[in-house]
A and B are shown apart, each in its own frame.
Chain A
Amino acid sequence: MVSLTLNPIDIRSVVDGVTAPESGGIDVFVGTTRNHAGGEPMAIAMMERLEAEARRRWTVNRIAIVHRLGKVPVGEASVVIAVSSAHRNEAFEVCRFLIDSLKKEVPIWKREHFTDGTVEWSGVAAEAKHE
């Protein structure tokens, strides 16, 4: 299950969504940061591909990836990933694979709003300077 939302992420419901009787544990990653804009259809397609890739490489029960878009107040969850599996090792590994890949692949961008009113795409200015 993957989804994008403009509303606060209900972590409990994401965890409930991966609960399965055959699971020995659930690993949850909660990312907290601010201000995202994304290319929605492509972000969903790529999140689904990451889920499929994780299922090819590991044996887990359920996977949920929920990313919030729009202005995210400091301290609230911007992304929640939950993975249930029979053994905790797989759940930890898949959770880590998903958050690391999401940060590299999925077309979502942080937008920093500064107190002086300026707005800047996070991380991208530094990347351009390397060229």
Chain B
Amino acid sequence: MNIRVRLFSVIRDIAGFDEQTAVVPPGADAASVLRELVQAHPALDPWKGSVRMAVNLEYVSSSHPLKEGDEVAIIPPVSGG
């Protein structure tokens, strides 16, 4: 299935992109997107425990199952306000 991956803030700076399409196997969960990303960009390894995942603009657990066309966002600790 095709999904969109969106990165923000420090994660985007390290990986060097803000948005791209990815192909994941059917039944893939949100955590698998993060695993793939860390594999492709090992400098992200220190972040994997502190980021949160959002699917279609809503926070989800790492076991959240993905479906075709989902937008998966990887959210480092926020600091707005």
The chain A residues found within 8 Å of chain B, CB to CB, are: 31, 33, 36-39, 41-43, 45-46, 49, 67, 78-79, 99, 102-110, 121-125, 127-131
Candidates B50, B57, B80; contact of A103 at CB < 8 Å: B80
> Does residue B3 face the partner (Cβ distance < 8 Å to A)?
no
Query: Within 8 Å CB of A107, what residues of B?
Result: 8, 54, 73, 75, 78, 80
Given A131-B47, A131-B50, A106 and B58 touching (CB < 8 A)?
no
9 new A-B contacts, CB < 8 A, other than A106-B78, A108-B79, A122-B79, are A43-B80, A102-B80, A103-B80, A107-B78, A107-B80, A110-B80, A124-B76, A124-B77, A131-B48
Contact B81 A121 (CB under 8 A): no
CA distance A36 to B8 in the complex (A): 12
A131 and chain B: residue at smallest CB distance:
B49
CB distance from A120 to the nearest CB of B (A): 9
Given A33-B81, A79-B81, A123-B77, A109 and B8 touching (CB < 8 A)?
yes
Chain B: interface residue count, which band?
20 to 34
Contact A121 B13 (CB under 8 A): yes
Given A42-B54, A124-B9, A124-B76, A131 and B46 touching (CB < 8 A)?
yes
The winner among A42, A46, A106, A123 for most chain B CB atoms within 10 A is A42
CB distance from A100 to the nearest CB of B (A): 9
B78 and chain A: residue at smallest CB distance:
A107
CB distance from A105 to the nearest CB of B (A): 7
